[in-house]
Amino acid sequence: MYKKIKESSDFIKKSIEYQTIHSGIILGSGMGGFEEKFEKIYSFDYSEVPHFIKPSVQGHSGNLSIVKFGDKLTAILSGRAHYYEGYDIKDIVLPTRVLADLGIKTLVLTNAAGGISENYEPGDIINIKDHINLTGNNPLIGKNLDELGPRFPDMTEVYNENLRELARKISKNLFQYKDGIYAWFTGPTYETPSEVNFAKIIGADLVGMSTVPEAIVARHSGIKVSAFSLVTNLAAGISKEPLSHDEVIEIAEMSKDKLQNFMEKFLIEINLSI
Ligand code: HPA
């Protein structure tokens, strides 16, 4: 795995003439196309980058762009592979490992999720304050690579508190700030109403199929993490309607501008503060 990470990272380092990348963002459903708003200093299709997996899901393009925010460089990963696509979890988190090897200090993660909390409506942007891993998997299972991070990483504050405060400030004139706890299910099925009820009882506000493995690996490497869910639907059983991926895509499209506006400001502030 270490060799794979180095091969990807070396390819990118050479291609960008060894410039420093300060931060990274991984775009989930609802954020695809964000990179198109900015001048790309470099741009790579995932198929060009060794070991990057081309995503198969609609709304995930599979492009790595290097863009300037606040005079520093940010890597924008448009699209991610998901565990439910059948890949090894270590390959799912490889892009995060590569970002760590490139030296980023902060990683922002975005996703589409189902809302459990009564305070949420479709279209809401939720700042993730903690997670619950309900998959039984973990990207750090297996031999620990000590050069990457410790065997038993602390998970007390996965989602950086200062970044949450910054997000609250920046959201002020854009949308009502809300935060919550994200429960990771593998998918690809949406949850049953009983699974959603279980997640609610144990404290989850959102359910989704991504983000947690990347957050775990980023913390393993000592990177600060911030994550946002776009509520594309009320979770199964909370909504009386059956869930559909088309609905997820439709709400994501409708809320795109709001989330992208926020994210541009957020990334500028992150890069200024590094
Ligand atoms: N559950 C899991 N993942 C999701 C959902 C959901 O309800 N909506 C969007 N992604």
- Reading the chain (274 residues) residue by residue, the pLDDT tens digits are 889 999 999 999 999 999 999 999 999 987 888 999 999 999 999 999 999 998 876 666 899 999 999 999 999 999 999 999 999 999 999 999 999 999 999 999 999 999 999 999 999 999 999 999 999 999 999 999 999 999 999 999 999 999 999 999 999 989 999 999 999 999 999 999 999 999 999 999 999 999 999 999 999 999 999 999 999 999 999 988 899 888 888 888 889 899 999 999 999 999 998 7
Q: 113 CB less than 6 Å from ligand 1? A: yes
**Annotation says 51 is catalytic:** no
Helix (H, G, I), strand (E, B) or coil at 114: strand
Residue 164 pairs with which residues in a beta bridge? none
Instruction: Note the pLDDT of residue 128.
Output: 98
Residue 157: give the domain boundaries: 2-273
Ligand 1: residue whose CA is nearest its atom 10: 113
Domain count, the chain: 1
Centroid of ligand 1 to alpha carbon of 12 (angstroms)? 32
Q: 29 CB less than 6 Å from ligand 1? A: no
Tokens, residue 193: 């109403």
Q: What are all long-range contacts of 14-18, with beta carbons under 8 Å and residues at least 24 apart?
A: 15/42, 15/44, 16/41, 16/42, 16/66, 16/73
List b or e across 31-50, with b for residues whose CB sees 16 or more CB atoms inside 10 angstroms: bbebbeebeeeeebebeebe
Q: 191 CB less than 6 Å from ligand 1? A: yes
Helix (H, G, I), strand (E, B) or coil at 160: coil
Neighbour count for residue 147 (Cβ, 10 Å)? 6
Instruction: Note the pLDDT of residue 58.
Output: 66
Residue 238 pairs with which residues in a beta bridge? none
Centroid of ligand 1 to alpha carbon of 208 (angstroms)? 5
Centroid of ligand 1 to alpha carbon of 206 (angstroms)? 8
Q: 134 CB less than 6 Å from ligand 1? A: no
Q: 59 CB less than 6 Å from ligand 1? A: no
DSSP-assigned letter for residue 151: S
Specify the pTM. 0.96
Instruction: Note the pLDDT of residue 29.
Output: 80
Instruction: Note the pLDDT of residue 59.
Output: 60
Ligand 1: residue whose CA is nearest its atom 3: 208
Please give the Cα distance from 115 to 5 (Å, whole number).
34
Q: 99 CB less than 6 Å from ligand 1? A: no
Centroid of ligand 1 to alpha carbon of 260 (angstroms)? 20
Residue indicated by tokens 């000590």: 146
Measuring CA to CA, how many Å separate 101 from each of 5, 21, 132, 176, 246?
A: 8, 10, 27, 35, 36
Q: 64 CB less than 6 Å from ligand 1? A: no
**Annotation says 117 is catalytic:** no
Q: Counting atoms of ligand 1 from 1, which one is nearest the CA of 115?
A: 7
Q: Please give the backbone phi and psi of residue 234, each rounded to the nearest 5 degrees, phi first.
A: -80, 140
Q: Using N-to-C axis directions, what is the helix angle for 2-15 and 94-102, rounded to 10°?
A: 50
Answer for the pair 3, 255: CB distance below 8 angstroms, yes or no.
Answer: no
CATH number for the domain that contains residue 212: 3.40.50.1580
Centroid of ligand 1 to alpha carbon of 109 (angstroms)? 16
**Annotation says 22 is catalytic:** no
Instruction: Note the pLDDT of residue 247.
Output: 85
Please give the Cα distance from 149 to 26 (Å, whole number).
21
Centroid of ligand 1 to alpha carbon of 233 (angstroms)? 7
Please give the Cα distance from 160 to 13 (Å, whole number).
27
Q: 217 CB less than 6 Å from ligand 1? A: no
Provide the greatest CA pair distance for the chain.
53
